[in-house]
């Protein structure tokens, strides 16, 4: 069916036509929401809000901008609203525009997304739309109902703030994926965690290591507090199996608690942020995200 016919049918209320038009953009919109919000669950919520708003408002889509740009405008404003209200808690290929400044692997890393979260919401939107996705300044101004001058000003401030907080070229940059140094760190981490060797695990952490567990409001900062947190996990003889994977370009592990019946049950996903050969941050996501990374809910214990 011709695209124009699909648009006409979607405007008339045809849900199948609307889904056929928007499905090609679903994955990249989810990544956009993740960059904006820094949370997988919040990103999924924002994506659903975006698609619902687009469906309800499709009769007003006049085609003056591309459908992709129109959807990004809705998604960006949904994320801005979520950030302003405080409602926020493997790598995905997204087509980037010619003005994109950051490489794909950098712009979906957990370190990059974490750095974005300290910026004001409008600056995050401008930087992601301009420097990550490569939209032109005029397009971004139209999306945000702003002037080109204000967009350029916000972009300048966002770039300066981000450069102070995040640089992939620093001496403490993480090892390359699947490099010997990364593989060595993976082996040490898995051995320490599965054997509940607390001292060996703590030796892999930086002094200012940070652990968070969205959407729960629990945070631990500093090696001593994180050591106590890990000790509580290993208490009462609990033992785990770890399954390595990657999440947004970062090292990640499905964590499975060994049960007495010989089955290991998924309890969460740990995403690690590395600095040099040490772990500087660990984010624990709920076990509901395991299928997103092709991981099982459970399996026979090793």
| Contact present, 37 and 86 (Cβ < 8 Å) | no
pLDDT, averaged in runs of 10, over the chain (302 residues): 85 92 92 85 90 93 89 94 66 60 66 76 91 92 93 91 67 76 95 96 91 76 92 90 85 94 94 86 87 90 83
Q: Give dist(CA 191, CA 225) in Å, integer.
A: 21
Q: What is the pTM of this model?
A: 0.56
Q: Please tell me if the domain spanning 3-165 has the same topology as the one spanning 180-300.
A: no
Structure tokens at 91: 């790598």
| Contact present, 246 and 91 (Cβ < 8 Å) | yes
Q: What angle do CA 272, 166, 187 make, to 5 degrees?
A: 25
Quote the pLDDT of residue 163. 79
Structure tokens at 121: 């919401």
Domain chopping of the chain, boundaries: 3-165, 180-300
Structure tokens at 218: 């629990």
| Contact present, 238 and 262 (Cβ < 8 Å) | no
Region 180-300: CATH code: 3.10.450.50
Report the Cα 171 to chain-centroid distance in Å: 24
Nearest to 129 by CA among 29, 58, 21: 29
Homologous superfamily in CATH for domain 3-165? PhyR, sigma-like (SL) domain (1.20.140.160)
């Amino acid at each position: 069916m011709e695209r124009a016919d699909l648009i006409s049918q979607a405007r008339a209320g045809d849900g199948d036509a609307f889904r056929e038009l928007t499905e090609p953009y679903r994955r990249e919109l989810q990544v956009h929401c993740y960059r904006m919000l820094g949370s997988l669950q919040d990103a999924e919520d924002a994506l659903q809000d975006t698609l619902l708003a687009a469906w309800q408002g499709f009769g007003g889509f006049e085609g003056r901008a591309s459908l992709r740009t129109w959807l990004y405008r809705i998604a960006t404003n949904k994320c801005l609203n979520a950030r302003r209200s405080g409602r926020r808690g493997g790598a995905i290929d997204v087509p980037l525009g010619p003005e994109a400044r950051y490489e794909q692997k950098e712009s979906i890393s957990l370190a990059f997304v974490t750095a974005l979260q300290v910026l004001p919401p409008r600056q995050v939107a401008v930087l992601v739309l301009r420097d990550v996705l490569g939209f032109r300044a005029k397009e971004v101004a139209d999306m945000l109902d702003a002037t080109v001058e204000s967009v350029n000003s916000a972009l300048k401030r966002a770039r300066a703030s981000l450069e102070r907080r995040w640089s992939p070229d620093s001496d403490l940059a993480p090892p390359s994926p699947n490099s010997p140094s990364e593989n060595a760190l993976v082996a040490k981490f898995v051995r320490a965690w599965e054997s509940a060797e607390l001292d060996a695990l703590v030796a892999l952490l930086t002094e200012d290591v940070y652990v968070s567990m969205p959407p729960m409001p629990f945070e631990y900062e500093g090696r001593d507090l994180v050591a106590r947190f890990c000790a509580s996990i290993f208490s009462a003889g609990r033992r785990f199996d770890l399954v390595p994977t990657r999440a947004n370009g970062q090292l990640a592990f499905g964590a499975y608690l060994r049960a007495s019946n010989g089955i290991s049950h998924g309890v969460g996903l740990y995403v690690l942020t590395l600095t040099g050969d040490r772990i500087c941050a660990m984010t624990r996501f709920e076990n509901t995200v395991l299928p997103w990374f092709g991981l099982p809910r459970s399996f026979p214990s090793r």
